[in-house]
Structure 1
Amino acid sequence: MSQDGAPEKKPPSAPGLPVGYRQGVITAITVMLAFSLYFLRFWNFEAPGAWNSLSVVAAGLIVIAILIQLVALWRSLQIADEREPVYRRTLQWFLAGIVAVLLGVMVASLAYA
């Protein structure tokens, strides 16, 4: 309460995310990250065949995708990710990681064929 007895007004805050949005994106990032790590492990260490230049490109793309997904996960765990502009940027990082994984898997399939 202020000195004159009126309740103090709080400054309007930026609207936050609806409940469940952050949890959902964190789950999606971890699922995609787990797939990427598993695919890289299987394809690099367990799949038969010799390496060629396409194999190296595919492995590089998948490693870059994993790093991008780790950045997206780190951003999604920050308190600032509750604000919509920061959340949107995190989703952009995540989308970039998904695209990089898809490109890596497509190049890997060409290298393995």
Structure 2
Amino acid sequence: MGNSDDTNPVADQPRKPLPQGYRQGLITAITVLLGFSLGFFRFWGFEAPGMWTWRSIIPATALMVAVMLQTIALYRALRLEDDEEREYRKTVAWFIASAVALVAGLILAALEIA
């Protein structure tokens, strides 16, 4: 019961902080992409001429998913825990997923207009 063989090797490792500037760069990238996403969705969804169709729902949904994922990534990036390498990697994964959803939404929006 309390011998050293039962210890968790991952928990015993010292915390590995990120290099200086990584979090700040990620936060900047997320906010830039979030600003673009909101601006594009506002124009495409509400200001562009034309009527909404059933085909418009698919790209609009992809764009909304991208905005939600970007918001989650921004929330994670602003937490103190994100200074740890493991948490930072998870946040980057959320951000990459949001970028993929955004690109899918943009492509679908372009195809819907054509």
Q: TM-score, normalised by structure 2?
A: 0.86
Correspondence for 2:61: 60
Whether contact under 8 Å (1:54, 1:108) holds in the other structure is no
Asked which structure has the greater CA Rg, the reply is 1
Task: Give the letter aligned to residue 102 of structure 1.
Answer: V
> Partners in 2 of 1:53 and 1:104 — Cα distance?
15
| Contact 1:58–1:108 (8 Å) recurs in 2 | yes
How many aligned residue pairs are there?
A: 103
2:41 alignment counterpart: 40
User: Any idea what SS the aligned residue of 2:49 has?
Assistant: coil
* Richer in helix (by share): 2
Aligned-partner SS, 2:51: coil
- CA distance in structure 2 between the aligned counterparts of 1:101 and 1:35, rounded to whole angstroms: 10
Unaligned runs of 5+ in 2: 1-11
Runs of 4+ in 1 over 2 A off after TM superposition: none
Deviation, 1:63, is 0.6
1:73 aligns with 2:65: no
* Structure 1 unmatched ranges of 5 or more: 1-10
SS of the aligned residue for 1:27 comes to: helix
CA contact (8 A) 1:72 1:90 kept: yes
Give percent identity, aligned residues only.
Answer: 48
Q: 1:101 and 2:102 equivalent? A: yes
Query: Do 1:52 and 1:111's aligned partners in 2 also have CA atoms closer than 8 Å?
Result: no
Cα deviation per residue 1:34-79 (whole Å; 9 max; x = unaligned)? Answer: 0000000000111111222221111111011100000000000000
State the Cα RMSD in Å: 1.3
* SS at structure 2 position matched to 1:56: helix
* TM-score relative to the length of structure 1: 0.87
> What is the rounded CA distance, in whole Å, between the counterparts of 1:64 and 1:57 in structure 2?
11
